[in-house]
Amino acid sequence: MYRKLCRLTIGIFSVAVLAGCPSRVERYSPRIPDSAAHRQAVQQKNCLECHEVASVPHHSNSDDCTKCHIICRGC
C-alpha cells in the first residue's frame, strides 16, 4: 500500500513538473531593453540582424525570439 502511494505521488509530481516547465520559460527568460530597435523587432529575422544566435547556448536560428524574450518597460 505504501509503495503504491509513493509511486502515485511521484507520478503526479512528475507530470505536474513536466507540464509546467514549458509555460514558465518566458517568465524566466532575460528581458529585452526598451529601445526603438527592440520595439520594431517583431520577427525573428529582425533579431538576427544584430544578435549572433550561434554564440548563445540552447538557441538556434529557427527559434522565435519574441516568444520568450519580452520588452521590459520601466525595469
Q: How many domains does the chain have?
A: 1
- The more confident residue out of 74 and 4 is 4
Which pTM value belongs to this model?
0.54
Domain span at residue 36 reads 2-72
Q: Buried (b) or exposed (e) across 18-52, using 16+ Cβ within 10 A?
A: eeeeeeeeeeeeeebeeeeebeebeeeeebeeeee
Question: Mind listing the pLDDT tens digit for each residue in 57-71?
Answer: 888 888 888 888 888
